[in-house]
């Protein structure tokens, strides 16, 4: 019994020593210190709220309010200085705005709104699928297809839009090719937009995880089927805001219609301002409001379409 007790006591002593050694190797628990920011738990970084950082405290919220108030005050100061400068030069006088607000002037100006919308929609309707096709050709596994497509995209993205407009206005007629003012404006916008749309689609496809396409190949799908059934639907949904942004840009680029004498808003505005006594500021202000309204409507349509494609609402909170 004595020997057994000694063995047992020895084992207990060895075990206690081992636990003591392990305790010395374990990292010490953090001791809360006054004035030190509390460590953020991983659940805070990837919790149900989906935030990446800890919400700001009272000091951070106070700094944000001060910065917002300062920015608003600065904007109000600049706006007041601008209005004062315009008033000093007589640009705010009722006599400057009265002729513009007459019914004939408004009818003449808004007669070009349909032409602007038509040129923008046709440019988007042609440039978007053309850009998607160029982007897919650039992603082709065959170098004989990918390299020429890449060269075309780079050339279209590198050339300024105004250069393309002047080429179709002055260069093609010198070669015996004549086009109407509508196509002299739309075709350059289509070419320029197709290069940008191609890069948008290419970036969206490359941004998807490789496991998406590999899963399609694993079930026996060909490359074309993987792109059509798996990759492109996901890429389009992810790139929808960027695509809409490029579409808005194409709509604004129709203001170059004055170069080719196409009767869009900018061209008609220049004619109207010259007729009213060179009151360009008042006419351009109204044109700016029209473009803001058009782009706002297009953005709202994009948000509605994005909501529909993503299941009809925001993700549910946990």
3-state secondary structure 183-195: HHHHHHHHHHHHH
**Distance, CA of 296 to CA of 314 (rounded, Å):** 21
- Judge whether residue 183 has pLDDT over 90: yes
What angle (nearest 5°) sits at the alpha carbon of residue 122, between those of residues 182 and 302?
Answer: 140
- 262 DSSP assignment: -
Confidence class for position 317, pLDDT limits 50, 70, 90 = very low
Mean pLDDT of 230-240: 81
Question: Could you tell me which residue, 236 or 148, shows the higher pLDDT?
Answer: 148
Report pLDDT digits (tens) over 11-40: 444 444 545 444 444 445 544 444 444 444
**Distance, CA of 138 to CA of 198 (rounded, Å):** 8
**Distance, CA of 273 to CA of 250 (rounded, Å):** 25
State which H helix or E strand residue 241 sits in: helix 232-252
Tell me how far CA of residue 273 lies from CA of 97, 105, 118, 180, in angstroms. 11, 10, 23, 25
**Distance, CA of 66 to CA of 143 (rounded, Å):** 56
Joined together, the tokens standing for residue 104 give 């004939």
Confirm if 201 and 135 have CB atoms less than 8 A apart.
yes
- Judge whether residue 5 has pLDDT over 50: no
pLDDT at 311: 58
pLDDT at 175: 86
- Judge whether residue 268 has pLDDT over 60: yes
**Distance, CA of 12 to CA of 20 (rounded, Å):** 12
**Residue carrying structure tokens 């919220």:** 61
pLDDT at 17: 52
**Residue carrying structure tokens 């840009």:** 249
What percent of the chain has pLDDT above 70? Answer: 80
**Distance, CA of 259 to CA of 163 (rounded, Å):** 11
- 279 DSSP assignment: -
Averaged pLDDT score across all residues of the chain: 78
Maximum C-alpha span of the chain: 121
Q: Return all residues near 258 (Cβ < 8 A) that are at least 6 apart.
A: 264, 266, 267, 270
**Distance, CA of 22 to CA of 288 (rounded, Å):** 73
């Amino acid at each position: 019994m004595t020997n057994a007790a000694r063995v047992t006591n020895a084992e207990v002593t060895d075990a206690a020593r081992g636990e003591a050694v392990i305790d010395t190797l374990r990292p010490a628990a953090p001791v809360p210190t006054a004035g030190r920011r509390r460590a953020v738990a991983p659940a805070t970084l990837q919790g149900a709220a989906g935030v990446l950082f800890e919400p700001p405290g009272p000091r951070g919220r106070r700094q944000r309010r001060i910065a917002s108030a300062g920015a608003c005050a600065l904007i109000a100061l600049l706006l007041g200085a601008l209005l004062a400068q315009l008033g000093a030069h007589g640009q705010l006088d009722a006599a400057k705005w009265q002729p513009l607000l007459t019914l004939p002037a408004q009818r003449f100006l808004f007669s070009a709104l349909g032409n602007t919308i038509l040129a923008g929609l046709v440019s988007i309707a042609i440039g978007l699928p053309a850009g998607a096709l160029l982007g897919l050709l650039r992603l082709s596994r065959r170098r004989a297809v990918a390299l020429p497509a890449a060269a075309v995209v780079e050339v279209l993205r590198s050339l300024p839009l105004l250069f393309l407009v002047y080429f179709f206005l002055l260069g093609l007629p010198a070669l015996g090719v004549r086009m109407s003012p509508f196509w002299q404006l739309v075709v350059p916008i289509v070419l320029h937009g197709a290069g940008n749309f191609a890069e948008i689609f290419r970036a969206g496809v490359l941004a998807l995880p490789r496991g998406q396409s590999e899963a399609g190949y694993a079930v026996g799908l060909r490359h074309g089927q993987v792109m059509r059934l798996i990759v492109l639907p996901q890429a389009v949904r992810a790139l929808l805001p960027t695509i809409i942004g490029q579409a808005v840009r194409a709509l604004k680029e129709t203001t170059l219609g004055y170069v080719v004498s196409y009767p869009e808003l900018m061209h008609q505005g220049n004619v109207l301002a010259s007729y009213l006594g060179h009151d360009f500021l008042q006419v351009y202000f109204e044109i700016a409001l029209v473009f803001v309204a058009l782009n706002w409507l297009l953005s709202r349509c994009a948000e509605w379409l994005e909501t529909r494609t993503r299941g009809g609402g925001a993700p549910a909170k946990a």
